[in-house]
Amino acid sequence: MRARWETSTKYYEARLVRDLLDDWVLVVSRGGKTSRLGALRTLFVSSEEEGMKKIAALEKVRTRRGYVRVPV
């Protein structure tokens, strides 16, 4: 599962994947579209459902802050 939100100058992306040990991991990246600045964060989740809930929570926050979800 992959979700991406953007403003005119920034992006925010979340990817729910399995790692090499078959655990669920939520990888969140954010940064500027025109700069090389950004950050990457890895969150371990106990299940796919928990990861989907976290993505839904991220969606609420990003939307409130003016981001728009874009297709990936």
Question: Residues 6, 33: contact at Cβ < 8 Å?
Answer: yes
Say which CATH architecture domain 2-70 belongs to.
Single Sheet (2.20)
Q: pLDDT, tens digit, for every residue of 9-66?
A: 999 999 999 999 999 999 999 999 999 899 999 999 999 999 999 999 999 999 999 9
Measured in residues, the chain has a length of: 72
* Identity of the amino acid at 5: W
As beta bridge partners, residue 31 has: 11, 38
Question: Residues 52, 59: contact at Cβ < 8 Å?
Answer: no
* Tokens 């990246």, located at residue: 29
Domain layout of the chain by residue ranges: 2-70
- Pairwise CA distance, residues 12 & 62, whole Å: 8
Question: Residues 7, 66: contact at Cβ < 8 Å?
Answer: yes
